[in-house]
Each structure stands twice: as C-alpha cells, then as structure tokens.
Amino acid sequence: MASTAHDLARQLADHAEAVCRHYLSNGRRHGGYWMVGNIRNAAGRSMFVRLHDGPKGPAGKWTDAATGEHGDLLDILRSSCGIGAFADVLAEARRFLALPETERRGAANLPSARKSGRRSSDSVRAALRLLAMTRPGKGTLVDTYLQSRSIDPSSAGGTLRFHPRCYYRPEIGPTEQWPAMLAPVTDNRGRITGVHRTWLARDGSGKAQLATPRRAMGDLLGHGVRFGAASDILIVGEGIETMLSLRRILPEMPVVAALSAAHVAGFIPPTGLRTVYVACDRDPAGQLASQRLIERAMAAGIRAMLLSPVQRDFNDDLHVIGPCAMRVALRDQMAAADAGRFLPEPA
C-alpha cells in the first residue's frame, strides 16, 4: 500500500498543474506555484502548491501559510473531495490519472511534466522578454497610479516599468490589452527571475477593473521586488504598494515586496544581513507568514523584528492615519539605533 501511495503521488506530481486546476479550481497559477485559499478549495492566496521539481523541492508539495499545514497531492484529493478512507483517496487518484489527457490538462493544454524544468525556464525567459518591451515608469501612468495610492513615485527609484498595452488573458473571453505597471522579481544576486504585473485603469486612477488585476510569472519563491540595495538591514513584506508606503516614511531603508504571504514565509534573506524587519499585514495568513520568516531569520543568526500596521496594511495606514502618525508608530517598533539611522527626528 505504501509503495502504491508513493507511486500515485509521484504520478499526480507529474501533472501537478492539472491536478490543481481540477481539484483547486478556485485558485490560479502564479509563476511556478498554484495559489488558493486552502486545501478545501476556498478562494484566496494562503496556500501554494509547487508545480515543478526544482532545487527548492519536488512538484506537488504544498504549504498553507495561514495554518502551517503541508502535504502532497493525495492530501488535496482527500480534502477537496471530502474523502474519508485512504483507500478511496487512492481510487480517486487512479480515476483522475485514467482520464483522457485533454480532461486532465483542462483549458491550459499543459505539456508533459517531464518538461517541467523547461517550463520554469520558459517562464523566466517570457518574463525577460516582457520586461524588454517596457519603458521606465517615471512620467507615465505608473506615477499616476502610485499617487492615487498616496505613494511618492520617487520612492520606487528606477525599479518600476510601464507597458502601455500589456496583454491580459481572462479565464473566459478574448485577450485584452491594458496599461500595466511591471516590476522585476530578482534573487539576492540581482538576477531577474520573474515579473509582477499590475494592470491599470486607462487613466491610471487605480487598478483596472479586471477579475485578477495582479499576476506574476517566473520563479518567485525566495525572491522579491527590491527597492533600494540591502547591505546590513532590510524590510520584507507582501505587496508593492505596502512596501512603497514604508519607503515614503523610510526613504533610505531598502525594502523587498515578496508579493504574497506565502512568499514572505519563503523569502531567502541575503548574505551579510544583520537585521530584517518583517512588515506584517493584519490577517491570519500575513501574521503566520511573518512569524515563519522571523523564526527562519533568527535561526540563521539574523536579528528579526515585526512591524505591524495600525490598519490592515501600511498603505491603508498612509491613507487613514497619515505619514506623521506612521512615523510615530514605526519609531515605537524599531530598535533605537535603527530608528535613529532611518527615522531621524524632524529638524
């Protein structure tokens, strides 16, 4: 039985994205991961499933950042279908694997999982090609969008890019073209591993009214969108707008947007880091992910501290309580030496 279960889990992993599309239909692909609310197929982004074998782990393994649960694709079949007996889980796996290839693949028309490493490389190459079609965000709708979020566009430095007609492919219907803000995802060596897209309203006054106005592609886990060069200190958090809100208050502080709670939990601190602050969104997934990164950093000998917003996240703080109150709240949470270095008292 154990051998049979292992073999079935491996065969399911060979079709990891098809499994996710079939059993976790309320989620969607983000780079090399399928993200969904939980193992019972709730909408959201707390749980991520690895779609490809790689140095960070095998395909089919999943983690729920909100609960700490983890497992393989057999667990997904059990929970999403409400199956009790393990023998019935194996029977469901055999049923799925016996489906015609087109039914398993679904709308994605996936290639063979033997090419999963190539798919990952292709995704990174596609991200590089897309970035090559962009121009700097300064003076474009990117500035308009950031200002609509109370963010000073200069906080982004030269990181953000603009594409005037970026393709958006909905689940149903024809491909559309919208203006978009793009941000390169990089590793600790500065190599581009992916790209994050935020489709914008045609006048830049906010996000485009699309089902999923934010999407990422490429190799994301462990990496992030970086603003400022880190040496001994860094702030890590989820969203681009959240981290740029902190940069408005701490303009000399390097920050990284890991892009989701799950990716905060998996962020790889750069070598030489002395202190990492983790900017925590006020929701269960954000709180658990922040704690996991803090534990990993401390185990590596890095001082790790939490920064909590007053509202749901730091961009909400910027809107609701304003920069002055944010300065006070951040000063109370930072080490005195760091506050003196990055938050000097106004003259």
CA 304 to chain centre: 21
Please give the chain's pLDDT, 347 residues, in tens.
444 788 888 889 988 998 998 889 888 888 889 999 888 888 888 899 999 888 778 999 999 888 888 899 999 998 877 787 888 888 888 887 875 444 444 433 333 333 444 445 678 888 899 999 999 999 999 999 999 999 999 999 999 999 999 999 887 889 999 999 999 999 999 999 999 999 999 999 999 999 899 999 888 888 999 999 999 999 999 999 999 999 999 999 999 999 988 889 889 999 999 999 999 999 888 898 899 999 999 999 999 999 999 999 999 999 999 999 999 999 999 999 999 999 977 65
Please give the pLDDT value at position 121: 67
Do 22 and 106 lie in one domain? The reply is: yes
Please give the pLDDT value at position 347: 55
Buried b / exposed e along 192-202 (16+ C-beta atoms within 10 A)? bbbbbbbbbbe
Please give the pLDDT value at position 116: 42
Mark which of 88, 110, 132 sits at the end of a domain: 110
- Spatial distance between the Cα atoms of 320 and 6, rounded to a whole number of angstroms: 52
- Spatial distance between the Cα atoms of 269 and 249, rounded to a whole number of angstroms: 23
Which range marks the domain in which residue 208 is found? 116-218
Do 93 and 209 lie in one domain? The reply is: no
Do 43 and 59 lie in one domain? The reply is: yes
Do 232 and 293 lie in one domain? The reply is: yes
Do 142 and 213 lie in one domain? The reply is: yes
- Spatial distance between the Cα atoms of 334 and 307, rounded to a whole number of angstroms: 8
Please give the pLDDT value at position 284: 86
The total number of structural domains in the chain stands at 3
The CATH number for 287's domain is 3.40.1360.10
Residue closest to 254 by CA, chosen among 232, 272, 239, 281: 232
Do 225 and 346 lie in one domain? The reply is: yes
Please give the pLDDT value at position 149: 96
Do 283 and 307 lie in one domain? The reply is: yes
- Spatial distance between the Cα atoms of 265 and 279, rounded to a whole number of angstroms: 12
- What does residue 242 show for φ and ψ, rounded to 5 degrees? -60, -45
- Spatial distance between the Cα atoms of 125 and 119, rounded to a whole number of angstroms: 10
Buried b / exposed e along 305-336 (16+ C-beta atoms within 10 A)? bebbbeeebbbbbbeeeeeeebbebbbeebee
Do 346 and 233 lie in one domain? The reply is: yes
Mark which of 79, 110, 141 sits at the end of a domain: 110
Do 270 and 178 lie in one domain? The reply is: no
Please give the pLDDT value at position 120: 54
Do 28 and 99 lie in one domain? The reply is: yes
Q: Sign of torsion, CA 234 271 129 259? A: negative
Both structure tokens of 47: 């749980």
Both structure tokens of 230: 């880190």
- Per DSSP, the chain holds a count of helices (H) and strands (E) of 13, 15
Do 234 and 342 lie in one domain? The reply is: yes
Please give the pLDDT value at position 346: 65
Do 73 and 151 lie in one domain? The reply is: no
Mark which of 218, 237, 264 sits at the end of a domain: 218
